[in-house]
Amino acid sequence: MDLRIVEWLNSGVGRFAPWDAFMEAVMSDYLVPALSSLVLVGLWFSGGQAERYKNQLTTIYGVGGLGFANLGVALINISFFRDRPFVSHDLNGLFYEPTDSSFPANAAGVGFAIATAVFMRHRRMGLAMYGLAFLWAFGRVYAGVHYPTDILGGAALGAAGTFLAYACVCILPFVPRLVLRAARTVYIA
C-alpha cells in the first residue's frame, strides 16, 4: 500500500511544471523550517507581560519537542534502516536524494513538533502550522523521498516530543523560569 501511494503521487511529477515548482519550494529544507522558526520567534516576542510568558513557554515546548523528535529519529535510525522509495523503485526525481533512513521522516517530526506546540496555545495558528507541516510532508511523498508510513512515524514522534517537552516543563517549572530570567537580563525575552 505504501509503495502504491508513492507511485500514484509520483506519477504526477513532470506533468504540470507550475505544480512541480510549487512542490519543490514547499518540500525544500528551507521554506517550512524558516516559516516555523519565524512563528516561534514571533511568539517569543509578542503579547503583554502575562501573555508573552505563555507564548515563550509555547516556544520552549516547540524547541523542546523538536529536540525530542530529532532524538527519537536518531535512536530509531541506529537500529532500523529503511531505503528511500527512489532507491528501490523507478520514480521521477524532484528533490535531491538523501542517503539517511527513510523511516521515520525527520521533516515530519520537525513540522509536527512545532505545529503541536503552537496548537496548544493558539488553535487557529496551530491549525495553519499543521497544514504547513502536512504540505511539507506531502511534498516529500509526492517526490518519492518518503513513504506515507515514514511521514506518520515522523508526525507521531514530533507530536510526542512536544508533549514530552510540555511534561518536562510541568515537572520542572523552575527551569524555564531560570532560562527566561537569564534571557531577560540580556534583553532577549
Domains of the chain and CATH, by start: 2-185 (1.10.606.20)
Rounded distance between C-alpha atoms, residue 185 and residue 165, angstroms: 24
Enter the pTM of the model: 0.93
Give the number of other Cβ atoms within 10 Å of residue 89's Cβ. 13
Give the number of other Cβ atoms within 10 Å of residue 58's Cβ. 25
Q: What is the pLDDT of residue 39?
A: 97
Rounded distance between C-alpha atoms, residue 23 and residue 35, angstroms: 16
Render pLDDT for 144-180 as a digit per residue (tens, 0 to 9).
999 999 999 999 999 999 999 999 999 999 999 998 9
Q: What is the pLDDT of residue 104?
A: 97
189, pLDDT greater than 90:
no
User: Torsion angle, CA of 146/147/149/154, rounded to 10 degrees?
Assistant: 0
Which residues lie below 8 Å from residue 37, measured CB to CB, with a gap of 6+? none
Task: Give the closest residue to 2 by CA, choosing from 153, 110, 132, 111.
Answer: 153
Helix 174-185 with 49-79: angle, nearest 10 deg? 110
7, pLDDT greater than 90:
yes
Which residues lie below 8 Å from residue 84, measured CB to CB, with a gap of 6+? 97, 98, 102, 144, 145, 146
Q: Are 89 and 6 in contact (CB under 8 A)?
A: yes
Task: Give the closest residue to 103 by CA, choosing from 129, 131, 72.
Answer: 72
Please provide the average confidence, as pLDDT, over all residues in the chain.
94
93, pLDDT greater than 90:
no
Distances (CA, A) of 174 to 57, 179, 183: 12, 9, 14
Of the pLDDT bands very low, low, confident and very high (cuts 50, 70, 90), residue 56 is very high
Q: Which three cell numbers stand for residue 68?
A: 525530542
